[in-house]
């Protein structure tokens, strides 16, 4: 059984202010919780009898499906909810001889979580986020990563300062409507790929620092063609092409 106070404490972690103050975040479902246990220290498990918590790790609260429904952030709870300690990353590592992503003002939690999952799939270890980007520990972001948060380092930083601090010959790419065709451009095995805000794209200040502008071409020839791709989809298309060329 779970107390009303405990439910209130967990539900409060939906707010960034509370997450930051408490140093805690919420994850749900056997897959997500299981993956995050590789990296994050659990404080609490709330679960139905169908899921068994590792013995002696932390608070272990067995509940009914109805009780889990009351504390869950999901429409359809998945056997277990865990509260984890936010892990402070070490000193910020700048891009090296590998492929990294930079996200400029991504607002939608689902998009951010999906991009982290895409990064994990394509072997990208670091994602740099502007301060305006959604909080990676938002429950919706955590859920959308499907556990990839355990394997991808997410850093919040001043992207313009990050880009200008890189060596002048370091490849910095950005997806822009005035860019060159992705499939006809020279692509490197390393570099930083900048993806912009869902509505406004890459900010004007950051755009000035991008040396290599790329366009994902639209093959719809009708007059009523779409304006753009969803940013998570565009990220997957771009990264897939970089990885295909890098083989």
118-152 tens-digit pLDDT: 999 999 999 999 999 999 999 999 999 999 999 99
Q: Residue 42, Cβ neighbours under 10 Å: how many?
A: 19
9-20 tens-digit pLDDT: 999 999 999 999
Structure tokens given for 126: 């670091």
Whether the Cβ atoms of residue 47 and residue 81 lie closer than 8 Å to each other: yes
Tell me what pLDDT residue 147 has.
96
Cα 188 to Cα 100, 227, 239, 243: the distances in Å are: 12, 28, 11, 9
CA angle 111, 116, 120 (to 5 degrees): 145
186-221 tens-digit pLDDT: 999 999 999 999 888 999 999 999 989 999 998 877
> Per-residue DSSP letters for 120-188?
HHTT--EEEE-TTSPPTTSHHHHHHHTTGGGTSEEEE--HHHHHHHS-TTS-EEEEEEEEEEGGGS---
């Amino acid at each position: 059984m779970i107390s009303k106070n405990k439910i209130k404490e967990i539900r409060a972690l939906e707010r960034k202010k509370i997450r930051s103050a408490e140093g805690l975040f919420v994850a749900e479902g056997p897959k997500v919780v299981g993956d995050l246990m590789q990296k994050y220290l659990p404080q609490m498990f709330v679960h139905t009898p169908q899921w068994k918590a590792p013995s002696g790790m932390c608070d272990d609260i067995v509940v009914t499906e109805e009780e889990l429904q009351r504390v869950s952030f999901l429409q359809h709870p998945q056997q277990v909810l865990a509260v984890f300690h936010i892990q402070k990353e070490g000193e910020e590592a700048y891009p090296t001889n590998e492929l990294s992503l930079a996200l400029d003002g991504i607002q939608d939690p689902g998009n951010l979580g999906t991009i982290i999952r895409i990064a994990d799939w394509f072997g990208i270890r670091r994602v740099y986020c502007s301060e305006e980007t959604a909080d990676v520990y938002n429950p919706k972001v955590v859920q959308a990563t499907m556990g990839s948060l355990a394997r991808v380092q997410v850093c919040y930083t001043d992207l313009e300062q990050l880009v200008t601090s890189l060596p002048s010959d370091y490849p910095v790419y950005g997806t822009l409507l005035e860019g060159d065709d992705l499939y006809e451009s020279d692509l490197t095995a390393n570099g930083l790929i900048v993806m912009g805000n869902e509505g406004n794209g890459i900010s004007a200040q950051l755009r000035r620092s991008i040396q290599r502008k790329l366009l994902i071409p639209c093959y719809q020839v009708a007059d009523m063609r779409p304006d753009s791709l969803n940013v998570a989809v565009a990220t997957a298309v771009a990264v897939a092409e970089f990885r295909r060329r890098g083989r």
